[in-house]
Amino acid sequence: MNRRGPDPDLDPAGRVDWLREQIITHNRAYYEADAPLISDADYDALMRELRAIESDHPDLISADSPTQVGVGGAPSTQFAPVEHSIPMMSLDNAMDMGELRAWGERTHRRLADIGSHAKVRYVCELKIDGLAISIRYENGRFVRAATRGNGRIGEDVTANVAGIAAVPKKLSGSAPSVLEARGEIYMPKESFESLRLATITENEQLVATGKKPKAVPVNPRNAGAGSLRQKDASITAGRGLAWWCYQLGELQGSDTPASHSESLAWMASMGIPTNPMTTIFDDLNSVYEFCSSWITRRHDLPYEIDGVVVKVDDLEVQAAMGSTAKAPRWAIAFKLPPEERTTLLRDIQVSIGRTGKATPFAVLEPVFVGGSTVGLATLHNQDQVKAKDVRPGDTVTVRKAGDVIPEVVGPVLEMRPDNLPEWQFPNTCPSCGEPLIRREGEAQTLCLNLACPQKRLAELDHFVSRGAMDIDGLGEQQLALFMELGFIRDFADIYSLDRNRLLELRGFKEQSVDNLLAAIESSKKRPLANLLFGLNIVHLGSAGAEYLVTEFDGLEAIASASIDELARTDGVGSVIATSVHDYFRDPRTSAVVDRLVAAGVNTASPARSTLERTLEGKAIVVTGTLEGYSRDQAAEAIKARGGKSPGSVSAKTFVVVVGESPGASKLAKAEELGIPVVTGDQFESLLETGALPS
């Protein structure tokens, strides 16, 4: 079967039939089975192509085409059917700012046509990536919940929704006789990650006993929808689902509010959760700016969004503008750039990292996802490949969230070719040919050959990185060349690079060579903690290095300390202590350190703070920008007073300090855990007293 279908230039009728068949199949997989075969972006591409061909060939349009009917699936026979008193319509999409502006221009003209001379306001709501739901209250009591279904008939999921804590079972205040609240059931990121990790752990046990692994949850939307449709309502209750209301549906026993925003505020006053990011604007330019801002802000939230919904606020104006057969004219969904796509997995290869860790990675048919074209993606480790059961030749789902390294989420099993063999992890290092070793009880597979070229290159690249010695101009490409020429074999060789030899190399100009040598010289002044981190000591991260230099007086003291002395350091356990101890007693690595010391790198611990330790043992999380402090300076101010400055909020956090443009996820986590929050102008008082402002 041709997965791409007939050529539309040669056979538009055949292409239309193929596209309709594909879209209907994917509608069933998405809406009925909660197991989509392709990403949203790939689905949208099919729909857009179908609309384009039908526009060019109007004679091919049929009444049952997916472009002419509402999007959705048939109600499941697992749940009783529910007829919506008011149809739950889908929304038209704007795939970029150009299409959003085009909708704005059409809306402006329609408002003029219907004679709306009043100032029109717009409501912008985050488009939650979840499952549309209708929740009915009678005299303030929760009586029924139904999925969207095909827009007219949904599924009765009352028992399952009853177990979701975020859905109030009784409304506060004076509730009407009937109130239908429409919204989105979703799975927060934290709940999804817990479910995903639990499934992977269970799969590792299943694989170890020769049993077939379960499907690993692909994303919060699918996991949330699948959790809601469980036969056992107790499973749904344990999945940590949540709910945002975005629309007033049927209403009896009360006057209808004049606007959409008023209806949301009214429902919120009765205890129905509405999204706090919902914002009202008086002009379209502000709408465009708001929508555009969420392209980069989407990961600040503790839940997934895939766009922004824009609505005309006035309900009378909405009614006058009307709807098409499947979507209202008064609303549009601005879709954020896709972060999941499906593509072909060409091959699985293995890279060797700075610790010798052998990491499998996917070689993909290049695909545009998350704002860039992706051709490679991580597969983490040997067990993950087996648990996910991805194989070269599979169609796979690829995810790239923000700046995160692209990841293969899993295979689309329905599209797997027959008799596709499992991928086998290699027994030897692809770089040096030495055996790969996996120690008992460990997940990672290692190349232990210290002379392994790929491992040495990764070590050097880490040493010169910003978090370590920060040598600008000495990247992986230059390091590989210098290794090949014999200029560099280890860390210490960097400090003996010869200017004249560098100038003899093709492409190395005098200015660039002088800049490089100046950066190398400047790196000698880097703090001792950065040097320790750059040495690539197994298990020792940047935080552990900071703890060591705070506890010990210089490199010599750290290098000569016993395992017990090292392990007594706060934040350094026996595993790290043993690794540090062994590193400095290995003749090969200690000889390199001696040469680094001879080259003049900084080996002194920072001067101990004389400030009063007002924050001793307390964890202070700073989010946003504080006046007078950079991020590093704020962290240093906290540490100088005995405190800790972690990057995330946890139950151990003493207080969260909020500056300008704070991260929404940290604030949400603080609220969830009941952690105190203070403003940035109270930071100085906190440092001085160590107490929360009264």
Q: 644 forms bridges with which residues in the sheet?
A: 619
> How far apart (Å, rounded) are the C-alpha atoms in residues 222 and 301?
18
Task: Give yes or no: residues 497 and 539 share one domain.
Answer: no
Task: Give yes or no: residues 310 and 183 share one domain.
Answer: yes
Best-predicted range by mean pLDDT among 6-20, 441-455, 463-477, 648-662?
A: 463-477
> How far apart (Å, rounded) are the C-alpha atoms in residues 203 and 15?
41
**Cα–Cα separations (whole angstroms), residue 534 to 131, 361, 585, 645:** 46, 25, 17, 21
Tell me whether residue 310 is in a domain.
Answer: yes
Torsion of CA 676, 678, 683, 685, to 10 degrees: -80
Residue range(s) defining the domain that contains residue 561: 528-599
Structural tokens at position 30: 């998405």
Task: Give yes or no: residues 116 and 242 share one domain.
Answer: yes
Q: 428 forms bridges with which residues in the sheet?
A: 435
Q: Can you state the angle between helices 284-297 and 97-113, rounded to 10 degrees?
A: 150
Burial of 541 (0-12, 13-18, 19+ CB in 10 A): middle
Span 265-286, average pLDDT: 95
- For the chain, percent of residues with pLDDT exceeding 90: 53
DSSP secondary structure code for residue 167 in this structure: S
Strands, DSSP E only, in 504-632? 619-623
- Closest by Cα among 140, 144, 233, 222 to 182: 144
Tell me whether residue 87 is in a domain.
Answer: no
Task: Give yes or no: residues 272 and 361 share one domain.
Answer: no
- Closest by Cα among 640, 637, 636 to 613: 640
Domain boundary among 335, 361, 390: 335
Task: Give yes or no: residues 399 and 457 share one domain.
Answer: no
Q: Catalytic pick from 127, 335, 618, 669?
A: 127
Tell me whether residue 78 is in a domain.
Answer: no
pLDDT at 652: 87
pTM score, whole prediction: 0.54
Model confidence at 71: pLDDT above 60 = no
Domain boundary among 475, 491, 523: 523
Give the CATH number of the domain where residue 279 resides. 3.30.470.30
Model confidence at 443: pLDDT above 80 = no
> How far apart (Å, rounded) are the C-alpha atoms in residues 692 and 241?
33
pLDDT tens digits along 473-491: 999 999 999 999 999 999 9
Please state whether beta strands 279-281 and 141-147 pair in parallel, antiparallel, or not at all (unpaired): unpaired
- Closest by Cα among 303, 279, 302 to 291: 279
Task: Give yes or no: residues 256 and 286 share one domain.
Answer: yes
Terminal Cα distance for the chain, rounded: 71
Please state whether beta strands 305-312 and 131-138 pair in parallel, antiparallel, or not at all (unpaired): unpaired
The model's confidence at residue 35, banded by pLDDT at 50, 70 and 90, is low
pLDDT tens digits along 484-515: 999 999 999 999 999 999 999 988 999 999 99
> How far apart (Å, rounded) are the C-alpha atoms in residues 55 and 47?
12
> How far apart (Å, rounded) are the C-alpha atoms in residues 477 and 461?
9
Q: 353 forms bridges with which residues in the sheet?
A: none
Give the CATH number of the domain where residue 665 resides. 3.40.50.10190
Span 634-642, average pLDDT: 88
Angle CA 359–400–421, to nearest 5: 50
pLDDT at 547: 86
> How far apart (Å, rounded) are the C-alpha atoms in residues 170 and 175?
9
Give the CATH number of the domain where residue 489 resides. 1.10.150.20
Q: Are residues 308 and 334 in contact, defined by beta-carbon separation less than 8 angstroms?
A: yes
Task: Give yes or no: residues 194 and 294 share one domain.
Answer: yes
pLDDT at 75: 47
pLDDT at 1: 36
Secondary structure element (H or E) that encloses residue 411, with its range: strand 407-411
Task: Give yes or no: residues 313 and 262 share one domain.
Answer: yes
Catalytic annotation present for 127: yes
Say which amino acid occupies 443. Answer: A
Tell me whether residue 694 is in a domain.
Answer: no
Q: Are residues 483 and 489 in contact, defined by beta-carbon separation less than 8 angstroms?
A: yes
Residue with more model confidence, 282 or 399: 282
Span 452-468, average pLDDT: 93
Give the strands of the sheet with 619-623, arranged side by side.
Answer: 619-623, 653-658, 677-679
pLDDT at 69: 63
pLDDT tens digits along 536-563: 998 898 878 988 998 899 999 999 999 9
pLDDT at 113: 86
Give the CATH number of the domain where residue 404 resides. 2.40.50.140
Domain boundary among 523, 555, 577: 523
Structural tokens at position 584: 């400095």
- Closest by Cα among 247, 88, 108, 243 to 182: 247
Q: Can you state the angle between helices 476-485 and 453-463, rounded to 10 degrees?
A: 130
Q: Are residues 141 and 125 in contact, defined by beta-carbon separation less than 8 angstroms?
A: no
Say which amino acid occupies 379. Answer: L
pLDDT tens digits along 653-672: 999 999 887 877 788 788 87
pLDDT tens digits along 132-179: 999 999 999 999 999 988 788 888 999 999 999 999 999 998 899 999
Tell me whether residue 515 is in a domain.
Answer: yes
**Cα–Cα separations (whole angstroms), residue 124 to 309, 323, 463, 544, 683:** 6, 19, 47, 45, 34
DSSP secondary structure code for residue 243 in this structure: E
Quote the mean pLDDT of the chain: 88
Task: Give yes or no: residues 220 and 283 share one domain.
Answer: yes
- Closest by Cα among 365, 395, 326 to 150: 326
Tell me whether residue 56 is in a domain.
Answer: yes
Model confidence at 305: pLDDT above 50 = yes
Give the CATH number of the domain where residue 52 resides. 1.10.287.610
Q: Are residues 431 and 332 in contact, defined by beta-carbon separation less than 8 angstroms?
A: no
pLDDT at 582: 95
Residue 370, by phi and psi: left (phi above 0), alpha (psi -120 to 50) or beta?
left
pLDDT at 517: 96
Task: Give yes or no: residues 504 and 536 share one domain.
Answer: no
The string over 307-342, giving b where at least 16 C-beta atoms fall within 10 Å of a residue's C-beta and e elsewhere, is: bbbbbbbbbebbebbeeeebbbbbbbbbbbbbbbbb
The model's confidence at residue 694, banded by pLDDT at 50, 70 and 90, is confident
Say which amino acid occupies 97. Answer: M
Tell me whether residue 197 is in a domain.
Answer: yes
**Cα–Cα separations (whole angstroms), residue 171 to 16, 86, 245, 266, 380:** 49, 22, 14, 11, 47
Model confidence at 30: pLDDT above 80 = no
Structural tokens at position 382: 């040997």
Tell me whether residue 79 is in a domain.
Answer: no
Task: Give yes or no: residues 205 and 330 share one domain.
Answer: yes
Task: Give yes or no: residues 585 and 631 share one domain.
Answer: no
Say which amino acid occupies 182. Answer: R
pLDDT at 187: 93
Angle CA 395–398–400, to nearest 5: 170
Say which amino acid occupies 533. Answer: F
> How far apart (Å, rounded) are the C-alpha atoms in residues 131 and 243?
9
> How far apart (Å, rounded) are the C-alpha atoms in residues 540 and 214?
35
pLDDT at 106: 93
Q: Please give the tally of structural domains in the chain.
A: 6
